[in-house]
Chain A
Amino acid sequence: MKTQKLNKKYSPSELADSFVFRTKLTAKQKKEAAGQLAKARKRAGAQLTEAQVVYARIMQLRFQMEDYIKSDQYKVELTFSYFLKQYIQLRYTMNKKFARDIELDEAELSFILNKRRLPSEKVIARLGLHSNNTIPALSWYKLLEKEREHDFVNNDKLMESESKYVKNRLKISR
């Protein structure tokens, strides 16, 4: 079916609900379009308040977290504490103030940020509430689970130390 036939079959509103059509521009038209867009964007960009800029950055962090959680890859640097540091830096210059806002002992926060302690479920719940669910507590929880899963799977020492307690193992012919 050609585009003209579509125009007869559907109203303009129905077309906009169903398609974005391919458009070819000449080099001159492309240049003109790029200039027009650059001007219009300059006007639009200036409209954001400081709070909206922070909101956009928190959304960016959330989408990066979600994509990482979904991916099959584990990256050593993308820990819970890495994302938490990024989150804090978006609104605070001092960790102490953030700790106060979620009623967490400053030392406890420092332990979490330095990967010396894992956050409790209470801390995770407070993180979700602090962002007004912009980054849901569940995303923080899943991020932590990904880290724990990796640590568990790679903990050879644990398997070695626990091996002596297991008897009468299932025999599988290979």
Chain B
Amino acid sequence: MQIRHQISGRLRSVLIELVSMEDYKMITKSRFFFNWKTEKQYQVYKLSIIGDKEILGLMSLEHFRNEKRLEIKLLAVSRENRGKHKKYEGIAGNLIAYACREAIRLYAENACVSLIPKDIIRNHYMKKYGMMDAGRQIFLEGLPLLRLLRTYKV
């Protein structure tokens, strides 16, 4: 899994792993927009460049075992990686692809990843990540989910 440095175009390999209690000291609202301490009830993952401790993105997942589904509750990239002048490209995509990886690891062909989008960005998730419409929610399952794994070289 890799992210692209916008200026140089260089690809950097990334690591996605569970957030530790120690990490919460570094996770501030000013950098990651939300209060992430409220997400401790879910599984919270961090993305960083291999060999570098700095966290570049966060995602929390809720597990619906009966439905063989993971729901992305919250996701944020660090402040310097948003907008036109972001430092690295592909942080959110890699985190979403990692959610798909976890769903496949648990449920193989029945794996599903969903999220409840804000209306104004709903179509962008669908276009960029191949998510499908399910009314209030959008989701990845089957072929689009497998395609996303391939796109992000999971």
Contact = CB atoms under 8 A, between A and B. Distances in A.
A67 B142 CA distance: 22
Interface string A2-23: 0000110110111111111111
B73 interface: yes
Given A10-B83, A22-B34, A40-B134, A45 B110 contact: yes
Say whether chain B's binding surface is mostly helix, strand, loop, or mixed: mixed
Given A14-B82, A22-B73, A52 B143 contact: yes
Contacts, number: 138
Interface in A11-53: 12-23, 25, 29, 32-34, 36-41, 44-45, 47-48, 52-53
Range of interface residues on B (Cβ < 8 Å): 35 or more
List the 6 closest A-B pairs by CB distance, nearest first. Answer: A36-B135, A16-B124, A40-B134, A20-B75, A63-B105, A33-B136
A40 B139 CA distance: 9
Contacts of A33: 116, 134-137
A36 B116 CA distance: 12
A37 to B, nearest CB: 4
B19 interface: no
Contacts of A45: 109-110, 141-142
B149 A21 contact: no
B141 A41 contact: yes
B114 A23 contact: no
B141 A44 contact: yes
A52 B132 contact: no
6 contacts: A33-B134, A56-B108, A56-B109, A57-B108, A59-B108, A63-B104
A13 B129 CA distance: 12
Interface in A88-126: none
B121 A15 contact: yes
Nearest to B119: A12
